Amino acid sequence: MSTVFEKIVNREIPAYIVYEDESVIAFLDISQVTTGHTLVVPITPYKNIYEMPEDLLAHVMKVTQKVSIACKKAFNADGIYVLSNNDEAAGQTVFHFHFHVMPRFINDDVSLKFVNHMNDMTKDEYKKRALMIKEALS
């Protein structure tokens, strides 16, 4: 079954498209969590970041940069969130890879709370975690 983003790509449902080229499309997120909240989406429906071909991912990232700069300028944003939810546990609801470009404003109502666990950590635990990632990378 096609995702809602494929339907937008195929013009089966409407969207406020702000950018399009041969491999990427960007349109306003219907939820407008903040003013100008935009999604940058590869036209080919890869499910998540793990499946994305490197060259396409690089191009999506370039477009994400352009859209971020444009959103900052257009809405006089104080900052920009760029984020991608991958898998349900990370909050992904549309299983067609995308970046959120979300303009941020001082005192906006966005909450993405990062809890700092630095004080619970030992050097050994940092070392162990870094090693686990390095091993998985090789």
Which residues are at the interface with ligand 5GP (CB under 6 A)?
Answer: 4, 15, 27-31, 85, 91-94
> Closer to ligand 5GP at the Cβ: 48 or 65?
48
Q: Which amino acid is at 65?
A: Q
Query: What span, in angstroms and rounded, lies between the C-alpha atoms of 90 and 122?
Result: 26
State the Cα–Cα distance between residues 40 and 99, nearest whole angstrom.
5
Known active-site residue 98: yes
Sheet strands side by side (includes 17-20): 17-20, 24-28, 38-42, 99-104, 79-83
Q: Which of 37, 96, 98, 100 is catalytic?
A: 98
- Based on CB atoms, which residue is closest to ligand 5GP, 43 or 94? 94
Residue 14, SS3?
Answer: coil
Q: How far is the CB of 119 from ligand 5GP (least distance, A)?
A: 31
For the bound state, the minimum distance from the C-beta of residue 100 to ligand 5GP, rounded and expressed in Å, comes to 6
Q: Report, as residue numbers or ranges, the catalytic residues.
A: 98
